[in-house]
A and B are shown apart, each in its own frame.
Chain A
Amino acid sequence: MANSNLPRRIIKETQRLLSEPAPGISASPSEDNMRYFNVMILGPTQSPYEGGVFKLELFLPEEYPMAAPKVRFLTKIYHPNIDKLGRICLDILKDKWSPALQIRTVLLSIQALLSAPNPDDPLSENIAKHWKTNEAEAVETAKEWTRLYASGA
C-alpha cells in the first residue's frame, strides 16, 4: 500500500472519525487509498433533504492539511450551491481553508449548507434563480430529487 507515509494527522483524524463519528455523517477511508474517503451525509431535518442519504467523495491532497480536501457530491442533489457534477460552493473548501479545519468540520459545514442553501452565492445559476424566484417550488423540487436519488435504496 502506498499509505505507509500517511501523515500522523490524517491517521489521527481517520481514527477519530471512525471512533466518534459526527451525528448524521459517516466517513470511512477507502481500503486502497487512505486519502480517499467515502462519505455519507444524512439530509438534515427541517430541510428539503430530510430523509435523504447523500453520498460524497472526499480526497485529501498531498498538501493536506495545508490545502483543503477535495469534496464532491456523488448523489444528485438539487441545491443552489451544488452543481450537477456534485461540486460544492463553500468558502472553506476554497480560499477560506485553514489547516485548523478538519475532515469532520468540513463535512459538518456541508451538512449545514444543506440546511441553509445560499442562493446569493450560487454555483448552479438555474437552481439559484429558481430558489430566488419561487422558493417553495424549488424546495419541492429538492424534496422530489431527494426522494428520487437519495432515498437510500
Chain B
Amino acid sequence: MGVNKVTDQGIAVVRSVVGQDFSDMDIIRALHLANNDVSAAINIIFDTPLIRVTPGDGSTGARRRSLDSLTVAASPADHAPVTAGSPTAAESDLPAERNTDSGVAAESSGSKESDWWLVGSAELSGLSTCKGRRIKPGDKVSFSFPLANKVTSPFTATRFPGRGRSVASCSEIVRFSTEDHVEIGRIPNEWARCLLPLVRTKKIKIEGFCKSVPEVLGIMDTIHLSVSVYINSSMIQKHQQTSVRSINISTAESSVHPLPSLFRLLGLTPFRKAEFTPEDLYTRKRPIEFKDRSGVSAAVLPSEKLRKLCVNGSKVEDNKETTSDTDMDSIIGIADSSQLEEMTPPDSLQCELRPYQKQALYWMVQLEKGRRFKEAATTLHPCWSAYHIADRKGFVVYLNAFSGDVTLEFPSTLQMSRGGILADAMGLGKTIMTIALLLAHSGKGGSSSSTSSQDSLDTNEVNDMSDQSPITSNKLTSISGFRKLFKSKASLVGGGNLIVCPMTLLSQWKAELETHTQPGSLTVYVHYGQSRTKDTKFLAQNDVVLTTYGVLASEYAAESTEENGVLYSVRWFRVVLDEAHTVKSSKSQVSMAAASLNADRRWCLTGTPIQNNLEDVYSLLRFLRVEPWGNWGLWYKLIQKPYEEGDERGLKLVQSILRPIMLRRTKSSTDAEGRLSYGVITCNSCCRPILVLPPAQVEVLYCELSAAEKDFYEALFKRSKVKFDMFVEQGRVLHNYASILELLLRLRQCCDHPFLVMSRGDTQEFSDLNKLAKHFLKGGKDGVNGDTCAVPSKAYVKEVVEELRKGEEGECPICLEAYEDAVLTPCAHRLCRECLFASWRSALSGLCPVCRKVINKQDLITAPTDSRFQIDVEKNWVESSKVSVLLQELDKLRSLGAKSIIFSQWTGFLDLLEIPLSRHNFLFVRLDGTLNQQQREKVLDRFTENADILVLLMSLKAGGVGINLTAATNAFLMDPWWNPAVEEQAVMRIHRIGQTKSVAIKRFIVKGTVEERMETVQARKQRMISGALTDHELRTARIEELKMLFT
C-alpha cells in the first residue's frame, strides 16, 4: 500500500466509527486530508460540517454518534455542543428507546441472581468513539446491543426518516456507555460477534467496569474494560428446548457457534478439549490434538437427554468415543478388547465358546443394553469440551463445539442405536457368536417391542427408543422412498429375530442354528422362495426368521406398492445382517431395504466392513441408526469430503464413530507390505492368542511363460499397448476405462491360458452350427404359413451361420451391445433374449424388431454362444505353464488325500481346467454362479463327504462369502483379483474355525506379465483400505496405475 493511498481497511475503520451517514467519497477525502491517519480522518469528518450528508443540519458529530448508537444518551456532560436541529425529538424518544433497546440488560439485571452463573471474566480493549468525555477507572459501564435487524428497521426508519442508514452494517456494533448512558465507545468486533446473538436470545449477560482509561478521551483511544459474562442457567438445564440453533441459522454463514468463541475470548480453556471442532473441520490447519484421557474424573450421568438432543441436533455428533492416537493408519482399527469381560452363554447353546467369543457375547449384550462399558460412559464425547466456569458453585460445564449447546451432564459416547458391527475377521465364528446372542436374549414372548423383560433397561430408555422413531422419520423422509416406512408403528407386530444373509448361507445358518441350539429353544423359519409366508403374525411368532437380501429387497419394493411386504409389518426384536457389506452401496435397493427395517436392535456381521470406499461405512451406520450419521449430507460434509480431499480428520472421525460400536479382532496382523498373512489369530491389543488355528501358509507361485506362450502374450500385449497409448495420447484414458479394462482382461486371461483369449481362425467346425444352418434351410421348405418371402434367403442364413461360426461378436440391434444370451429368430435375426422380450407386448409372441415378422417364443433358438472356445480345446489341449504348475501341486497333494479348492474369476478357465483334471484322473466338483441354492448345497456336500473328490473348482465370486469349506486344506488362487479383499474372503473359506489341519494358500502369478504388476496395484488398494491412500489420491493415481500396468 502506498502511503498516500487510501486503503479499504482505512475506510472501513473510519466507517465503523462514523457510521453510514457519510459517503465513501467523504471518508476517502478525509483520509486524504489526514494523510491516511485514521483518527485524524475521523476528527476531520466529525469536525467538518461541510462534508456531512445532510448539510444545513447544525448538529455535530457527537450527536450523530449518539444517534448511531441505539442506546441513545444525549448527555448534558457531552462536550460536543448539541445544537438545535431536532434534539427535542431525539430526547423525547429516549425513554422508550432505552426500554426497548437495552431491554436485554434491564431484564437480566432484574432476574434472579441465581439464574445467572458466572462463566468467566476477562479484559477487553474497547475503542473510544467519543471525544472529551470522561470515565473513571472503576466506573461501571453498560452495554447496548443493537436489536436484530427485523426489529430495528422500522424503528430507525421512523426515528431517522430519510437518513437511509443501512441498519445491517451497524447492527453488529456493540457500544458501551457510562451508567448514565453516555456513550463512551464500542467493543471489538470479535467480542460483539459472539456476544450479540447470545445476548439477544437472553442466553448470557455481560457486566463490566472500566479498568484503565486516558484522562481525557479522544476518538479511537483505547479503554480497558473488565467484563464478566454470566450464562443463564436455563440455557444449561433446558438446553434441549432452547433454540440455540435458531441463532445458528441466523449466523449460518459461519456455522461456528458464538458460544465456543466467547468461551475462548473469556480465556477459558477446556480442561478436556473437544476432539472435533468446527474450526478443525473448516480451517483444516490445526491437527487434532488428542488429550490424555486419564486423570480426569467427571460425573457420569445417564445420557438419555443427551441422546435425545443429539437426535434433534443438526450438527451434533453422537455416539463416538475418543480415539487414542494409535491406529491412525487404519480406518477399521482393532478394538481394544483385552479388557472385555467374558460372558457365559446360556445353557441352550450346545457348543463350547472360546474365550474371545464369550467376550464378543458380553460386548454385544452390553451394546444392546444401550450402554457400553463403564469406560465408554466416562469417555468424553469428542465434540464436547469440558470447562470449569468461574462461578462459585464450581460446576463443570460441557460445551459442544458444533452446536454451542451447554450442559452440566457428562456428554459421553453412549449409544443411541442398540447394536453394532461385529467385524471380526473371517473364520472367527461370527455366526456362532450371534447365535449365542440370540439365545441370551431372543426377545421371546416379546409381543411388545419395548421388551420390558430387559432388566437392564430403565423405562426412560425404552421411552427413548420409541421416541426416536418420529424424530428419525423426519430425518429419513428426506430420502425418497423412506417416508412410507413410517406408517403408523402401532400397526406393526412385535417379532423376534430377523437374520438376513446371502442366499448361499441360508442353509448354513439354518444348520448351525439347529446344531448349536438346544432343540426347542428357538423356533426357526426360513423366509425364502415363492411359497414364503404372507402371514405377519406367523412370521412374528418365530424366534428366528432367516431370509436373504434378495427377498428383503423384493419385499421392500413390494411394500412401496401394496401391503404384502411382511418383513416390514413386523417390528423386529433384533435384525442381523450377515455379510453386511452386501448393503454397502447406499443407493442400492437392498441397502435402502435393510435400513428401512423396523427393529430395536441392529447388528452387522462382516469381515470386511470396508471393501472399496469409506462410503461403505455410511450404509452400515445408516442401517444401525447411528445418528446423525444416517444423514448423508452431514456424513459427506464432515467425513467423506475431508477424507477425499486428503484431510485426515475425516478418517479420524470415522474411527471414533466406529470405535464404540465395532468389535474387530483379526487372526493376523499385517506385515510390512500390507498384505495379510494368514497366521495365528491373536488379539492385537493383548497379543494373547484368542484362537489358535492351525497355521496357514501363503505362498506365491511364480510361473514362467513358455516360449510359445510368451510369443502369444507379447503379441497381445503389443496390440493392447498400441490401443492404450492411443488413449493416453488423446487424453481419453478415463473415458475409455471400460475398453482398457477389457484389454487388461484379455491379457490377464492370457496368463491363465491362451485358449481363453484365442477364438478365431480355426478350421474346426461346430456340429451344432451346421445343424442350425440346416434348420433354417429346412424351415424354408415347410414354412408354417406358406409365406415363402418370410423365410430368409439361403445366402443370408449362410452369412449368419458363418458369422456365428467365426465367433464374430456383432451387436444386438436393440441394446447396441455385444449379444448377451443371444437368440435367433426363425427369420435368422440375432438379438439378446432380454431385448427381444422387452420389445414384445405379449409374453408369448411378437414381431421381429428387425423385419416385423410375427414370431413365437417357442420358435426362438438359443444361439450357440455357449461354446466359449472356437477351437476344439479337447483335441488340441495344451497345458499352459500355470496349469502345469497347478497339476504338479495337485499331484503332490493327491498322495496325502488332501482336498483343494481352485479359485478362478473366469468360469471359462474353470471349463478349461476340467480337461486336464479329468485327464489326470482327478475327481472334482464345480461351484459357480450358474448353480441355484439346492445345487450348491449338493456340490458342497459331495465335496465334503466324498473322500475321493479332491478338487473343487470354484468361481471367485460365487464362493466369496460365508461358505464353510474346512474340508479342504489347500486353496489355489489361479489369477489375481483387483480387490484383495475379495481374494481374502475366498481364502477364508478354508481357514476358519473347524479347520483342524494346517492350511496352504497358493497364489499364482506369471512373471513379467500384467499379473505381476497387478500385485503392486493390489498393494496400493490395500493401503487405500487401511486409509493411507485417499480416494482423491486414488483417482489421480488411476491413470498412473493403468500406465503402470502397461509398462
Task: Enumerate chain B residues within 8 angstroms of A119, measured Cβ to Cβ.
Answer: none
The reply to whether B814 and A13 contact each other, CB–CB distance below 8 Å, is no
Task: Enumerate chain B residues within 8 angstroms of A99, measured Cβ to Cβ.
Answer: 813-814, 835, 838-839, 849
Within 8 A of A (CB), among B808-855: 813-817, 831, 835, 838-839, 847, 849-850, 852
The reply to whether A9 and B816 contact each other, CB–CB distance below 8 Å, is yes
Interface string of A98-136 (1 = CB under 8 A from B): 111010000000000000000000000000000000000
The reply to whether B815 and A100 contact each other, CB–CB distance below 8 Å, is no
Within 8 A of B (CB), among A46-82: 65-66
Chain B contact residues, majority secondary structure? loop
Task: Enumerate chain A residues within 8 angstroms of B816, measured Cβ to Cβ.
Answer: 8-9, 12-13, 102
How far is B816's CA from A96's CA once the two chains are assembled, in angstroms? 20
Task: Enumerate chain B residues within 8 angstroms of A100, measured Cβ to Cβ.
Answer: 813-814, 831, 849-850
Residue of B nearest to A12 (CB): B816
A91 to chain B, nearest CB (A): 11
B20 to chain A, nearest CB (A): 43
The reply to whether A98 and B847 contact each other, CB–CB distance below 8 Å, is yes
A98 touches which of B817, B838, B849 (Cβ 8 Å) = B849
Task: Enumerate chain B residues within 8 angstroms of A66, measured Cβ to Cβ.
Answer: 838-839
CB contact under 8 A between A65 and B814, given known A98-B849, A99-B835, A100-B849: yes
CB contact under 8 A between A8 and B817, given known A66-B838, A98-B839, A99-B835: yes
Task: Enumerate chain B residues within 8 angstroms of A96, measured Cβ to Cβ.
Answer: 852
From B814, B817, B847, B850, residue with most partner A Cβ within 10 Å: B814
A9 touches which of B815, B831, B850 (Cβ 8 Å) = B815
Task: Enumerate chain B residues within 8 angstroms of A12, measured Cβ to Cβ.
Answer: 816-817
Within 8 A of B (CB), among A6-38: 8-9, 12-13
Task: Enumerate chain A residues within 8 angstroms of B817, measured Cβ to Cβ.
Answer: 8-9, 12
CB contact under 8 A between A9 and B852, given known A66-B839, A98-B839: no
Task: Enumerate chain B residues within 8 angstroms of A9, measured Cβ to Cβ.
Answer: 814-817
The reply to whether B850 and A98 contact each other, CB–CB distance below 8 Å, is yes
Task: Enumerate chain B residues within 8 angstroms of A102, measured Cβ to Cβ.
Answer: 816
From A9, A13, A96, A100, residue with most partner B Cβ within 10 Å: A100
How far is B835's CA from A65's CA once the two chains are assembled, in angstroms? 10
Residue of A nearest to B814 (CB): A99
Task: Enumerate chain B residues within 8 angstroms of A98, measured Cβ to Cβ.
Answer: 839, 847, 849-850, 852
Task: Enumerate chain A residues within 8 angstroms of B835, measured Cβ to Cβ.
Answer: 99
Task: Enumerate chain A residues within 8 angstroms of B815, measured Cβ to Cβ.
Answer: 8-9
A92 to chain B, nearest CB (A): 10
From B817, B838, B839, residue with most partner A Cβ within 10 Å: B839
A109 to chain B, nearest CB (A): 15
Residue of B nearest to A65 (CB): B814
Q: For the side of the interface on A, what is the size category?
A: 10 to 19
Residue of A nearest to B817 (CB): A8
Task: Enumerate chain A residues within 8 angstroms of B831, measured Cβ to Cβ.
Answer: 100
Interface string of B200-228 (1 = CB under 8 A from A): 00000000000000000000000000000
How far is B814's CA from A61's CA once the two chains are assembled, in angstroms? 16
How far is B849's CA from A100's CA once the two chains are assembled, in angstroms? 5
Task: Enumerate chain B residues within 8 angstroms of A8, measured Cβ to Cβ.
Answer: 815-817
A7 to chain B, nearest CB (A): 8
How far is B831's CA from A98's CA once the two chains are assembled, in angstroms? 13
Residue of B nearest to A13 (CB): B816
How far is B850's CA from A102's CA once the two chains are assembled, in angstroms? 11
How far is B813's CA from A57's CA once the two chains are assembled, in angstroms? 24
B804 to chain A, nearest CB (A): 19
A100 to chain B, nearest CB (A): 4
How far is B814's CA from A9's CA once the two chains are assembled, in angstroms? 8
Residue of A nearest to B850 (CB): A100
B846 to chain A, nearest CB (A): 10
B928 to chain A, nearest CB (A): 26
How far is B852's CA from A96's CA once the two chains are assembled, in angstroms? 9
A38 to chain B, nearest CB (A): 22
A66 to chain B, nearest CB (A): 6
B833 to chain A, nearest CB (A): 14
How far is B832's CA from A8's CA once the two chains are assembled, in angstroms? 15
Task: Enumerate chain A residues within 8 angstroms of B849, measured Cβ to Cβ.
Answer: 98-100
Residue of B nearest to A7 (CB): B815
How far is B831's CA from A65's CA once the two chains are assembled, in angstroms? 14
Task: Enumerate chain A residues within 8 angstroms of B847, measured Cβ to Cβ.
Answer: 98
A129 to chain B, nearest CB (A): 32
How far is B839's CA from A20's CA once the two chains are assembled, in angstroms? 27
Within 8 A of A (CB), among B764-818: 813-817
Residue of B nearest to A98 (CB): B849
A114 to chain B, nearest CB (A): 24
Interface string of B105-118 (1 = CB under 8 A from A): 00000000000000
Residue of B nearest to A101 (CB): B849
Task: Enumerate chain A residues within 8 angstroms of B838, measured Cβ to Cβ.
Answer: 66, 99
Task: Enumerate chain A residues within 8 angstroms of B814, measured Cβ to Cβ.
Answer: 9, 65, 99-100
From A9, A13, A96, A99, residue with most partner B Cβ within 10 Å: A99
B69 to chain A, nearest CB (A): 52
Task: Enumerate chain B residues within 8 angstroms of A13, measured Cβ to Cβ.
Answer: 816
A2 to chain B, nearest CB (A): 15
How far is B839's CA from A66's CA once the two chains are assembled, in angstroms? 6
How far is B815's CA from A12's CA once the two chains are assembled, in angstroms? 9
A3 to chain B, nearest CB (A): 15
A63 to chain B, nearest CB (A): 10
Task: Enumerate chain B residues within 8 angstroms of A65, measured Cβ to Cβ.
Answer: 814
A105 to chain B, nearest CB (A): 10
B819 to chain A, nearest CB (A): 14
Residue of A nearest to B829 (CB): A100
Task: Enumerate chain A residues within 8 angstroms of B813, measured Cβ to Cβ.
Answer: 99-100
How far is B837's CA from A99's CA once the two chains are assembled, in angstroms? 11
A67 to chain B, nearest CB (A): 10
From A8, A66, A96, residue with most partner B Cβ within 10 Å: A66
How far is B648's CA from A14's CA once the two chains are assembled, in angstroms? 42
Task: Enumerate chain A residues within 8 angstroms of B839, measured Cβ to Cβ.
Answer: 66, 98-99
A150 to chain B, nearest CB (A): 32
Within 8 A of A (CB), among B169-197: none
How far is B814's CA from A66's CA once the two chains are assembled, in angstroms? 9
Residue of B nearest to A96 (CB): B852
Within 8 A of A (CB), among B446-477: none
How far is B835's CA from A99's CA once the two chains are assembled, in angstroms? 9
From A13, A96, A98, residue with most partner B Cβ within 10 Å: A98
Residue of A nearest to B849 (CB): A100
B818 to chain A, nearest CB (A): 12
How far is B213's CA from A1's CA once the two chains are assembled, in angstroms? 62
Interface string of B888-912 (1 = CB under 8 A from A): 0000000000000000000000000
How far is B852's CA from A8's CA once the two chains are assembled, in angstroms? 24
From B814, B816, B817, B831, residue with most partner A Cβ within 10 Å: B816
How far is B816's CA from A13's CA once the two chains are assembled, in angstroms? 8
B195 to chain A, nearest CB (A): 46
Interface string of B571-599 (1 = CB under 8 A from A): 00000000000000000000000000000
A134 to chain B, nearest CB (A): 36
How far is B816's CA from A84's CA once the two chains are assembled, in angstroms? 35
B479 to chain A, nearest CB (A): 17
How far is B817's CA from A96's CA once the two chains are assembled, in angstroms? 23
How far is B816's CA from A12's CA once the two chains are assembled, in angstroms? 7
How far is B818's CA from A12's CA once the two chains are assembled, in angstroms? 12
**28 A-B residue contacts at CB 8 Å?**
A8-B815, A8-B816, A9-B814, A9-B815, A9-B816, A12-B816, A12-B817, A13-B816, A65-B814, A66-B838, A66-B839, A96-B852, A98-B839, A98-B847, A98-B849, A98-B850, A98-B852, A99-B813, A99-B814, A99-B835, A99-B838, A99-B839, A99-B849, A100-B813, A100-B831, A100-B849, A100-B850, A102-B816
Q: What residues of chain A have their CB less than 8 Å away from a CB belonging to chain B?
A: 8-9, 12-13, 65-66, 96, 98-100, 102
Supply 4 further A-B pairs (C-beta < 8 A) apart from A8-B816, A8-B817, A98-B849. Answer: A9-B816, A12-B816, A98-B839, A98-B850
The 7 A-B pairs with the shortest beta carbon distances in the complex, nearest first, are A100-B849, A100-B813, A98-B849, A99-B839, A12-B816, A99-B814, A100-B850
